[in-house]
Structure 1
Amino acid sequence: MLQTTENKWVQELFQWADDNNIPDLFYIEEEFFDINGDCFYEKIPLGLTRNEEKLVKLDELNLCWHNCSEMPEQIKYLTHLKKLNFAKSACGTQPPFYKNADGPNRLKEIPEWITELYNLEELNLSENEVRYVPEYIGKLTKLKKLYLHNNGIVFIEPDLAKLKSLEVLWLDGSYLLVLSQAQTLLERSGILEKDDRSKHCHLQLDLRIMDLLSKDNLDELLDTSSELYFSPHRYTLIACRYAIHILIGLKKTVDHTRLNESWLNLTDIRKLVCQLPKLNELWLKGLKGSMYGPINLHHNGIELITSKKNVIIDFDHILIEPWANEPLGNNFGNILTALDLWGDYS
């Protein structure tokens, strides 16, 4: 094909695919089950077509199993796309080039140019290393399904609530809950006094936790001579400190009061999901994982899907932990984690 100014980006995209061992477009059959348990098969596209005419009309692009630290910007010209998959790996049938996913490279951030894909309805960036969901994600107004699981996401801009067409949101495998969990772990380790909860208001306690975790002397508490070192929970404290440093970079400040306000704003999952009128499936398992299936959202509460029965909890009652008689705070993520850890809904 003769390269011209008009199709230069096409040639660049083809070259990127060749350099990264992305195969020509082919299809594999994937097995699925419907709600009645009946099996059906669907053809799943993989790879990138090398035909320019087909490329510019693509409505689905599946580049999973990649070994790249960024998506090529030339994808922004594929404005017919409705589905874009750039997951690090994929479930189900392994394509012939699955060894590509063995490499260490993962997507580190969501590029701003992705907003030019204005017809996008489904976006899968799972299994990467995206820690922060930026405000411009809210410009993908036609988005119905967003898969960001297993990224270790720390913060989400409230602009995600602008996705009024969003029906499915997967956020499990995130670090959205680390500040509240760190409080408990610091108390268990004796770093915080257990009666600090009654001595200090919630804001003051958060500030004290931030102050503790942002100091280098936390390394002494996590060294090999520390009891906490041998606990799997130490990773929560490490993740929390890592999150603080990310926030300092985002907000360009070390002022703990401002950082705390930003932290609460960027992790208020309950407020966010309550502004998504069409959302009916949410996965948010936190650091512990979930013993339940997806969590269906209703206008007045949530429904836990279990193997034996479904349990509906009204939003009016969701801030109270009935089995411990202790308030959970106003973070929706805390509630879901609490249900995972202590609720018996089997």
Structure 2
Amino acid sequence: MSRFLTILICVFVCQHAFNQTADYNKLMEKAGENYAVENYIAAFNYFDKAQEKAITQEQKGEALAKKDECRLLILEQKINLEIAQKETDSALGVANTIIGAFYFYDERFALAYKNNKYGFINKEGTPVIGYKYDEARPFSYPGLAKVKRGDKNYLIDGTKKEYLLGEGAIDVNDIQALDLSNMQLTQIPDRVFESPNLNILLLNGNEISYIPEKIDSLLKLKELVFFNNELNSLPENIGGLNELRLLDAGNNCLTALPKSMIGLTKLEMLVLYNNQLTSLPNYEANNYLLEVLDAGNNLLESLPKGFSNLQNLKVLYLDNNQLDKYPVQLSSLGNLTHLSLAGNQLETLPEEFGRINKLVSLDLWGNNIKSLPNSFGQLINIEELVLGDNQITQFPGFIENFPALTSLDLSFNQLSELPEDLKRLTILELLDVSYNRFTEFTADSSLLPALAKLSLAGNNLRSLPDSISTFVNLTFLDMCNTNLDSLDTSICTLTNLTELYLNDNKLTSLPQEVEMLINLTLLDLTNNLITEENLKLIEKWLPGCEVIFKHKITEQRPIDDEK
């Protein structure tokens, strides 16, 4: 896989979350409040969480853009702190932590500043793109960064190659890239077709409904981005762009694709997300370089026979379509590493499913699956597995055969117990079994020693499980809507917790031992029976924690058991 595609894969891998739209709006609001008072570190964290909760590409783009702004401002504040040395070492430490932990695009490129010049460093602090730019922006989708040296602007990619931007007094024959995104354009400007050496054309976020036939005159075009426009179709001669590596036509109004698309044999990434497509091209040969295909949020009921010819495909998103049967062509794609079939109408998976055993990420959220085939146990490389919102009644025993598993989502099923032996899941960090039929949770840290995030929400547990106190590495615990009427003092052992959700229960108070949760930053007590007096005590015990508390029921009315 090329370095360019390695960067892009990270952008598209995502998890589904319950009630994401409300969470997204709430987090963006909190981020905006902190941004307004120049608390950019807190704002960055909220924007980062909002990006995780985003559903649409537009939401993700909005949050990502705000994160980029915060990153630059954090860096600027850090530089000022280092020069002036007016703040404490701890403030500098926080700035360094944020920059080090979040600033790196694809874990490889971070914008850096030295001797009045910008460059890009890796996680070891070693320059990977030298300090030679007068101005620079961080890397962002689609794996490009905008920089300026002297009076010329460039886009640079993950291979460090520079593309001269058509800004200022530049000869049209020298222009290699044009960024015309988010300019409210209704048509492609004529000057685009006057640049014969154009390699990159970014037109995302406009109102363009038509691509003229002369697009095929841009014979050197490698990246073409039309995401979030109003396109109803693509021209037939788009297949003549023989050098095209990336085509993004996501979030438009496409109902069909031209047959000439099969001529784009050098295409490495194709984004068709959120259109109205009922079919995909029937690839007739096996000489395609395509590695990433996002056709989520369309109207696909099946895949063409020739789809099995895409032997280089590594990332495939078919989520939120109308597939009611597993496409057998997928079992021929032995190089797949990321697959999403979420939000379809699948009821069963065939034994052939186990053939795609290079998978590291699989999302089957929101289907009608009741059980999994035995061949599922052949997915020994799986790291992220989403089986939520199905009809699974028994915990799949072969999950124990997944030693690389770090994230497991089994929420919204019909499970009532865990298997006796989970000892092989030694690096599992996230376990979500929310909204099942558990009345107890017996697993302890000896079975899941690396567990950091646990959701038991929506199960009828009635009390804090005894084994919870052994998970001393937990940073996130969701016990909302579990019919809790008290909280055991053993909660105090979870000193690494940063987020604790106890909302929608029957709690009247919390034990004073919660003051030992020194790292807690968020505590949700919404919809409980806690009095204002007890709430003030809790806030006193947890001075550095944001306590969310809203009454939506009277203090005399218990929470419905059926909720």
Same fold? TM cut 0.5: no
Larger Rg: 2
Q: Which has the higher contact order (CA 8 A, sep 6+)?
A: 1
Hey, which of these two has a bigger chunk of helix by percent?
1
